[in-house]
Structure 1
């Protein structure tokens, strides 16, 4: 009984201190995306897109994404961010070679935005609100939401076909979990 109570006490303390309860959780490949309504946890997929994951983590550690807006948000499809100008026409200045895979675009999947050129992904990414099979094999999958999708669902939607947003919601902060404060 003493061992059980000690275990419960340790787990309770770990929860209060936001320490992962399971040693198997990969903090280096987990992102925390803080939005106006709460925290979204994202599992990175270096097994699918090692170069994209490395670049997302690099930009995250530079605080590149902090304060950026969700400039393009289409109801029933996706929310896009990662452009420092908020127009959808810019990025960090470094294009990445495509890392397409067989991983499907499902609700909560994170993919890299790009132009017509497959090797034009930079810093912009999107989170799917719903399954988007028409994207399969056409865009790089680099992560998936594991908790907090309800906060993604609350991102302000855009207008018209293009989904451009007036007075858009922002990323408050994005962190690699291993670095989280």
Structure 2
């Protein structure tokens, strides 16, 4: 199970508005300590890297690492239903493997639930929780990261089938 409550829904709304023109679909990787997003724009010019630490949320629970692939256009439409003073609870139940629920609550206690279908997602990694990345530390003052993907020989795969 995953749930995270923003005390101010406007924060996520502003983040999504800032990136939705660059990426159409984005995977939110949720861990026990944070909610992260890393996505490349369609022309492969810009890499967006977002990390929302546990301290940003009023409530945060993540029982296991979960990848929530969401359409930024659909998420933007959902977030437009909120007012700036509304709270936002994001909830993903393991029993509902392809749905995520957004619950908005206003200052008067009125709630509104909206459910979005998750996007299909492919993740490249050596094993669980280990992405294909090479990182070089720059004297403790920064880093250089290379994100790697293996070359797939489509002709060979087709012949093997």
Which has the larger helix fraction?
A: 1
TM-score (normalised: structure 2): 0.29
Give the number of the structure with larger relative contact order, counting CA–CA contacts within 8 Å between residues 6 or more apart. Answer: 1
